[in-house]
Amino acid sequence: MAVPDKHILLMDGPDSKGLIYHVTGVLFRHNLNIIHNDEYVSPSGRFFMRTEFDGTFDSATLLQELHTTVPGSSGYIGSDTNAQLYKSDDTSSQAGITFRLNPKRKKNIVVLVTKEHHCLGELLIRYAFDELDADILAVISNYDLLKPLVSKFDIPFHYISHEGKTREEHEDAILQTMAIYEPEYVVLAKYMRVLTAGFVNHFPNRIINIHHSFLPAFVGANPYRQAYERGVKIIGATAHFVNNDLDEGPIIAQNVKDVDHRRTAADMATEGKDVEKIVLSQALKLVFNDRVFISGNRAIVL
């Protein structure tokens, strides 16, 4: 099977001598051209490599050859059958090196929001001009406030109120709607409800949230209020993967902004929006370009 031009090879596992040599050798023998190669070895001896290359090849043959050539290979996930991230420290992958091979392409996402428009607006404009590296399949919200905005961009908007529902009932309703779209990633663009472990487990390492503080400062509700009361001189925002502990998942990107004592909590919230939406967009660009590995609670960005 001939495959399209640009591909990304992701590799991670225990470090050993010659890994770069073995992998680049396989690519060389397939007459493939490395556009960019980046690797990282963690202090605990785990090796991560992302190789962007172009050329014509048969993906099954290439993956098989990587598997047999590279010492310590424990397997591969090929041809984008499964684009999502997986935890590199799973027991299985700890045992050896794993390869994933993805064609360079846009990802499919669903966006969850509550009432605030700034992050959603940012994503919609980028999507409308093909700058998001993703297709927004739908927007889901527990309020109908942002329906008019979403409608401007001809994207399905699902209003699923949480009122009169238990948390589980509400999440079930969302999951049913999600099931229509089968998104590769779920983006929480200021979705202001805590998700249960049950929900999160449906999308392991595939939910990205923007938190309106410089984590780990000001976990939880009202971070700008907390920031005001603590009298910080800098505020920030954090884009991170969601796991089962509130605001504790691997951090993908952060940015900050100077403030002074004159800013009220409301001022900080207003000014912080600019930081939030840009950080979220930057983090998504990294994830959608297959540049993010997860290692324990840390995100490795290659």
When binding is defined by CB under 8 A, the residue of 83, 137, 246, 301 that contacts a copy of itself is 301
Q: Is 244 near a copy of itself (CB under 8 A)?
A: no
Query: Closer CB to a copy of itself, residue 39 or residue 172?
Result: 39
Q: Is 237 in the site for a copy of itself (CB under 8 A)?
A: no
Question: φ and ψ at 207, to 5 degrees?
Answer: -110, 130
Q: How far is the CB of 168 from a copy of itself (least distance, A)?
A: 30
Q: If binding is defined by CB under 8 A, does position 274 make contact with a copy of itself?
A: yes
Contact between 258 and a copy of itself per CB under 8 A: yes
- Binding segment (CB under 8 A) for a copy of itself, from list 5-13, 32-40, 79-87, 106-114: 32-40
Q: Which of 125, 175, 180, 194 binds a copy of itself (CB under 8 A)?
A: 125
Rounded to whole angstroms, how far apart are CA atoms 27 and 101?
12
Smallest separation (angstroms) from a copy of itself to the CB of 251: 5
Q: Which of 245, 247, 260, 267 is catalytic?
A: 247
Active site residue 144: no
What's the min distance (Å) between Cβ of 265 and a copy of itself? 9
**Residue 187 contacts a copy of itself per CB under 8 A:** no
Nearer to a copy of itself, 147 or 180 (CB): 147
Q: What number of CA atoms fall less than 13 Å from residue 292's CA on the CB side?
A: 28
Regarding 20 and contact with a copy of itself (CB under 8 A), the answer is yes
Cβ closest to a copy of itself, residue 28 vs residue 159: 28
Q: Which of residues 142-181 bind a copy of itself (CB under 8 A)?
A: 149, 152-153
Single residue of 2, 21, 81, 197 touching a copy of itself by CB under 8 A? 21
Per-residue binding letters, 92-121, with a copy of itself (x by CB under 8 A):
-------------------------xx--x
SS (H, E, C) the chain: CECCCCEEEEEEEECCCCHHHHHHHHHHHCCCEEEEEEEEECCCCEEEEEEEEECCCEHHHHHHHHHHHCCCEEEEECCCCCCCCCCCCCHHHHCCEEEEEEECCCEEEEEEECCCCHHHHHHHHHHHCCCCCEEEEEEEECCCCCHHHHHHCCCCEEECCCCCCCHHHHHHHHHHHHHHHCCCEEEECCCCCCCCHHHHCCCCCCEEEEECCCCCCCCCCCHHHHHHHHCCCEEEEEEEECCCCCCCCCEEEEEEEECCCCCCHHHHHHHHHHHHHHHHHHHHHHHHCCCEEEECCEEEEC
When asked if residue 45 is in the footprint of a copy of itself (CB under 8 A), the reply is no
**Site of interaction with a copy of itself (CB under 8 A):** 17-18, 20-21, 24-25, 27-28, 31-41, 43, 117-118, 121-122, 125, 128-129, 131, 149, 152-153, 214-218, 229-234, 236, 250-256, 258, 260-262, 264, 270, 274, 278, 281-282, 297-301
Q: Please list the active-site residues.
A: 247
